[in-house]
Amino acid sequence: MIMGDNTTAKANVSFDNPYLSEYEVSYTTNLISELKSKGVFLSNSLYDDIWLFSHEYSLGRSIKLDFGKIDKNLNKDDQLLIKCWIGSLLEKYRPSTCIHYFHHFCMAVNITKFFSLDRINHFVEWLHEDHITNNEKTYVLSTVFSFFDFSEISNSSKYLAKLYDVRNKIKFVKNPIQLPSSRYTLLFSYYLEKYFTDVQKDELFDDEETIKKTILFYPILIWWNLTSIIPIRSTEFCLIKRDSTSKENNKFFVTITRIKKPLNDSVNYYNKIEINESMYHLLINYIELTEEYGESETLISYRSLIYADNSGRRELQKRDLDSFNKNNLEKLLKRFYKEVINEYYQINVPFNQRLSPNDTRHIAFVSLMMQGISPIEIARLGGHRTIAAQYHYSFHKEYWIDNEVFKLIKNYKNISNFDNNNIRYIPENVKLKAFESPTSSFRGELEIGYCSDSLIRCEAKECMLCSHWRIDLNDLKVKRDQIIKKVNKNRDNLMELMNFIYKIHTNTALNIMTPEHLENEKDLEQTFLNIKSELQNLSKLIQIERSIY
């Protein structure tokens, strides 16, 4: 499936921090400069120990993020690493939210002496103390996981192995760092593909305007299709070179520039990744479409956006016109929601249900895990130094189930009308066999519904999943609670299978191929087949459940 080489992202030799790339420092510096120009960041620079931000709701007042609250014994490199992590949060969250997260992160840093190995058990004991609320524990753990995901510091794998056990036992109201719901993610995907068909047919646009609208949002189409399958960081997506595609022996590849360097020679990231033919042509077509607008170091041409953007502000706002960066991607994604989904299609998506550039990395990781791909392959594909670094993504098991079931139920690629408002809506082309004519005059009464096959040729352990099963509408309503109970039981079965995959991922060490590991590989393949079967069953049961309403 995947081929690799030994190339890695080039780094300046004078920059000597194993957990932080020069690119990340430069990017955070530029982000702060931009916030400063908007009057949001009030301090001098990234290197200040106190960051002041303008108050969102009270003109003239400021709020403070004080890095002095962190363990005073931290060296400058570790302090810079934490500051760049906070910078990554500032891309997605308001300063007040980042300060809130930092407050909880400080608790973890100070208790563990910046995640020293001899403080793991002490930290776990602290997390079990009764006077700390579950919500507070959740915030502390979420910020720690986020920091580990960003930095991949050497002790993170040892901590994660313990902390995820703690996290799985906590009952919490809301995960502070969440993905949009599967419903809104599917909605985004549906209208993204639909837009590029509709804009070609729209008689309100002349030929030039059609080309402009295609070019403007083409990077979003590439970003979605590539990064929801290959778990690369949004920064790595933006750094993909213009000449990154290749074709060898009827196979197609894209080469990724990694921003994280391996900590040792035994870890071999995949930089050259195999893609399918349709993805290859999507990239090639974009390159050909934007070639005439000038040179570009990156796959995504910023100069083509200058042409396509009628606002005329782009050339004034950016000094480097040869490359496309994460800030450009984030703004373009926001514009797609505003100008296409909201204004063109008149669909309102709540702000907390909108995708951000790194969300697709989560989606891709969970998808790969649940397809039975081995932990080692996923770590290499995702540019992770350790398998433990991807534990973070297993939190989205429920999300993945919902997403897959929703796709099966809605069969959304084949429908002409995506009902955005009715969550109980079932498309016309998803017909329930339960309401079709019986297969014979036989009526064998069951706990729920009846069997219409006189020979009682059972096709499934669960009668409701058999093609001969039928039910009357009144009986459907009466047996509502029992049906919901069966849906929940099936979902629990799925969670058990997915937890097994999660367990294999958490117990597998990178690059250690043992007989036990090979057995796990076989187990993964079988579990994946079981998951596919359970998903089909769950989708059928949910269709029946939704018919009640």
Cα–Cα dist 202/199, whole Å: 5
Cα–Cα dist 174/151, whole Å: 24
Cα–Cα dist 86/108, whole Å: 15
379 HSE (CA, 13 A, CB side): 24
pLDDT in tens, 181-202: 777 887 898 899 999 999 988 8
Cα–Cα dist 360/36, whole Å: 29
Decide if pLDDT at 156 tops 60.
yes
Q: What is the DSSP string of 162-177?
A: HHHHHHHH---S--SS
pLDDT in tens, 95-142: 998 999 999 999 999 999 999 999 999 999 999 888 888 888 888 998
67, two tokens: 């890095």
Q: Which domains does the chain have, with CATH numbers?
A: 39-169 (no CATH), 182-388 (1.10.443), 408-546 (no CATH)
Q: Of 442, 469, 466, which is closest to residue 454 (Cα–Cα)?
A: 442
Cα–Cα dist 158/156, whole Å: 6
pLDDT in tens, 342-396: 999 999 999 889 998 988 887 787 777 666 566 666 666 666 544 444 445 544 5
Going from the C-alpha of 352 to that of each of 178, 274, 334, 517, 521, the distances in angstroms are 9, 33, 12, 40, 37
Decide if pLDDT at 480 tops 60.
yes
Q: Of 89, 58, 335, which is closest to residue 218 (Cα–Cα)?
A: 335
Question: How many C-beta atoms lie closer than 10 Å to residue 289's C-beta?
Answer: 15
Q: Which residues pair with 54 in a beta bridge?
A: 62
pLDDT value for 266:
46
Is residue 148 a contact partner of residue 159, using CB atoms and an 8 Å limit? yes
